Chains A and B, each alone.
Chain A
Amino acid sequence: MKNSNKGQIKESSKVAKVVIYVILIFLAITIIVPVFWVFMASIKENQEFYRSPWALPAGVHLQNFADAWEKASMGSYMLNSVIVTVIAIALLIVIALPAAYVLARFKFKSSKFWNVLFMAGLFINVNYIVVPIFLMLNNADIFMRKVFGGPFFLNNLFILAVVYASTALPFTIYLLSGYFKSLAKDYEEAAYVDGAGYFRTMVQVIMPMAKPSIVTIILFNFLSFWNEYIISMTLLVKPELKTLPVGLMNLMAAQRAAVQYGQMYAGLVIVMLPTLLLYICVQKKLTQGMTLGGLKG
């Protein structure tokens, strides 16, 4: 509207702008205040939690963090979480990228079938397939015990990472192939003319272009792997193998026992901080990754 010279419109658009600012700022406050509140709660002493939740902390009680880290073993759970998340994301990228590329840009006999199958996978909810997965791994373990004398599949951080990567495949392939579809055919044609094989074309020409999309899927999947607890709780039974969110559940209210609120909120912050940090690091790329067409088609 910058070309409009009509004073009236200018007036009303000024009012509109003010309204817009008010709304934007209001929404921003509804987000900043509660997040800030969690940080405040994490430095409160236990007795303070029985008073108004919005009272300011009486002092900085950092002992909560030490307790959560040491006594509630959040430190070692953190290591487990890092291991699982890193392996799962690495696997996911190595496996999903080529698959998405092929599904998006090659027509072959069963390409339609696979596209539809992976789409259908979007509708499968881990909350109900977790027990079948467990039973399957367990049967495999019974077999392993017989043949190799020890179980392998359960209580294994690597297997948990494989399961995470597998359950994230439909969404990841969906995002990536949407991006690949938006690319012009010329890139590959040119590479083929230069004599590059399929594999080299994919790795050297297409992948570099997909970087922003890869950042996006890393963030999305990091969030879901890092916060996941239902699969983790089921497949990792040994206490020393717990991941962060499962450890957090133990800090939460259990009935008929006093709750260590301070520790619990410190635990919440410990779980939350890495996600916040990663997000702030990649937030620019996040929009960019989608900008490049991540979700088209």
Chain B
Amino acid sequence: MKAKKVISLTMAAAMAMTLGIIPEKVAHAEGEEQTLNVAVVETAYGAQMWHDVCDAFEKANPGVTINLTIDKKMEDIIMPAMKAGDYPDVIMRAVGAATALPETFIKDNNVVDLTDVLSMTVPGEEVTVGEKILPGFVDNSITNPYGDGQTYLMPMFYAPCGLFYNAALLEEKGWEVPETWDQMWELGDKAKEEGISLFTYPHAGYFDAFFYAMLHESMGTEMFQKALRYEEGIWDTPEATKVFDIITKLTTYTEPTTPGNANDNDFQKNQQLILDNKALFMPNGNWVIGEMAEAPRAEGFEWGFTALPALEEGGERASYTFFEQTWMPKGAVNQDLGKQFIAYLYSDEAADIFATVGNAVQPIKGMSDKLDGDAKLYYSVYDTGAVAVMDAFATTDPVEGITVRTTFFDPVDSLVTGDKTEEEWVEQIKKDSDELRAALKE
């Protein structure tokens, strides 16, 4: 037994040596050899397009090796190393996800100022990055989180968000796509008679895009910006009240089982309600089409997409634009190469790879003209007069116990089930806004 113990211990030790670790790749700067660490979250667009773009960049820049980490749970992979002070050079992860990766870096003042990338010439082209990017995409509160006129996050693949529906169903019933909320309610009553609910939502998190677009419709740009900075008294204004009223009214038109599946596991069951003609509209983005590609659907089903209805006849109609962002943590070692790589992402070459391999659309001029088929429908929403909204609540220092999601959007579940009233919801928003405002970044 003693001998056995010794053997097992030596074996264990030997295992430890062999299992050990694959020797570390060290970024060595001798000559032209350089390694760029890029971490990307894998979304509905898939991983292939990133591999292809990285290959293309390596080809164009001899001596450069890109070490690409792409995973659906990218944070889990890079977080441990980052806690240890070992950061990727370039990260693509948008604000608004539950893991709040960029938010944390922004809150800690730990993102690299990328304003100079805008004036860099796109590799292999004549124009600068700034000239290529669509207007509005680099001067919003997401890309300029500190409101100091500097760009810290670079906009990537954009996707219009709005209401998705079954176009074939509406046509069959002879229903018009509502252009105002009043028409919406009328349609809701008509649909109810046929046993169809007006509305459903995947889960409460999907109200972010919806809420921002509604606020913009009601408030206009200037006041909207104030709301995003939680300005005092803003939630008591008639404009804000209108938005709260509409969302509350909408919850009474919501398919009643929706909250039962409104969690990360089961949210696709709510999306299925649209495919099964059990509900008419849901807030979503164009990724939903790929997400539900294999799901069974009502006969003749055809995706329809519209901007949010206007508050009144002839009023503004808004569509929130969701876009991903690339950025660099201050701990990045190869900052110059990283910036070159980011600039390259806006080249026609890269944009074409993204578009053809992954159906991902870069926010650069002329890109949406190249699209065809289904995709055209979504990206042309702005050509038909809808206003693109692309801001988010201002970044604050961390406020313990308060997140935008739990304060603003999660209570929608309770509104549907009747466990909370509109007053309680708004009260909570006002109370938490006071604390968030106090923690705003200067």
Alpha-carbon distance A238/B19, docked complex (angstroms): 12
Can you spell out 24 A-B residue pairs with CB atoms less than 8 angstroms apart? A46-B294, A50-B295, A51-B296, A83-B19, A87-B12, A134-B80, A134-B83, A138-B83, A138-B84, A141-B84, A150-B21, A150-B24, A152-B20, A152-B21, A156-B20, A203-B1, A207-B1, A237-B80, A237-B81, A239-B77, A253-B265, A256-B287, A257-B44, A257-B72
Given contact pairs A83-B19, A90-B12, A150-B23, A254 touches B84 in the complex (Cβ within 8 A): no
Specify which of B5, B19, B42 lies most central, judged by the most chain A CB atoms within 10 Å of its CB: B19
Judging by beta carbons under 8 Å apart, are B21 and A91 in contact?
no
Alpha-carbon distance A271/B78, docked complex (angstroms): 25
**Residues on B facing A (Cβ under 8 Å):** 1-2, 5, 8-9, 12, 15-16, 19-24, 42-44, 46, 71-73, 76-78, 80-81, 83-84, 264-265, 267-268, 272, 285, 287, 290-296
Alpha-carbon distance A154/B8, docked complex (angstroms): 22
Given contact pairs A47-B295, A51-B296, A258 touches B80 in the complex (Cβ within 8 A): no
Contacts of B16 in A (CB 8 A): 156, 158-159
**Residues on A facing B (Cβ under 8 Å):** 46-47, 50-51, 83, 87, 90-91, 94, 131, 134-135, 138, 141-142, 150-152, 154-159, 199, 203-204, 207, 233-235, 237-240, 249-250, 253-259
Judging by beta carbons under 8 Å apart, are B21 and A259 in contact?
no
Contacts of A255 in B (CB 8 A): 264, 267
Alpha-carbon distance A150/B24, docked complex (angstroms): 7
Contacts of B77 in A (CB 8 A): 237, 239
Judging by beta carbons under 8 Å apart, are B268 and A47 in contact?
no
Specify which of A134, A233, A237 lies most central, judged by the most chain B CB atoms within 10 Å of its CB: A237
Given contact pairs A151-B24, A250-B71, A135 touches B83 in the complex (Cβ within 8 A): yes
Judging by beta carbons under 8 Å apart, are A257 and B22 in contact?
no
Specify which of A199, A239, A249, A254 lies most central, judged by the most chain B CB atoms within 10 Å of its CB: A254
Alpha-carbon distance A134/B82, docked complex (angstroms): 11
Contacts of A253 in B (CB 8 A): 264-265, 268
What residue in chain A is nearest B78 (Cβ atoms)?
A237
Judging by beta carbons under 8 Å apart, are A131 and B83 in contact?
yes
Contacts of A90 in B (CB 8 A): 8, 12
What residue in chain B is nearest A251 (Cβ atoms)?
B72
Contacts of A94 in B (CB 8 A): 5, 8-9
Contacts of A257 in B (CB 8 A): 42-44, 46, 72, 287, 290-291
Judging by beta carbons under 8 Å apart, are A259 and B268 in contact?
yes
Alpha-carbon distance A282/B44, docked complex (angstroms): 44
Q: Which of B8, B84, B272 has a CB less than 8 Å from the CB of A142? A: B84
Shortest Cβ distance from residue A90 to the other chain B in the assembled complex, whole angstroms: 6
Tell me the interface secondary structure of chain A in the complex: helix
Given contact pairs A47-B294, A258-B291, A238 touches B20 in the complex (Cβ within 8 A): no
Contacts of A138 in B (CB 8 A): 80, 83-84
Specify which of B71, B80, B264, B272 lies most central, judged by the most chain A CB atoms within 10 Å of its CB: B80
Alpha-carbon distance A235/B287, docked complex (angstroms): 33
Shortest Cβ distance from residue B389 to the other chain A in the assembled complex, whole angstroms: 19
Q: Which of B5, B20, B73, B78 has a CB less than 8 Å from the CB of A254? A: B73
What residue in chain B is nearest A261 (Cβ atoms)?
B294
Shortest Cβ distance from residue B96 to the other chain A in the assembled complex, whole angstroms: 11
Judging by beta carbons under 8 Å apart, are A249 and B294 in contact?
no
Specify which of A154, A157, A204, A258 lies most central, judged by the most chain B CB atoms within 10 Å of its CB: A258
Contacts of B43 in A (CB 8 A): 256-257
Shortest Cβ distance from residue A166 to the other chain B in the assembled complex, whole angstroms: 14
Judging by beta carbons under 8 Å apart, are B72 and A254 in contact?
yes
- Given A134-B80, A158-B15, A235-B80, 16 other A-B contacts at CB below 8 A? A47-B294, A138-B80, A141-B84, A152-B21, A154-B21, A155-B21, A156-B21, A158-B12, A158-B16, A199-B2, A239-B77, A250-B72, A256-B43, A256-B44, A257-B44, A258-B293
Alpha-carbon distance A87/B9, docked complex (angstroms): 10
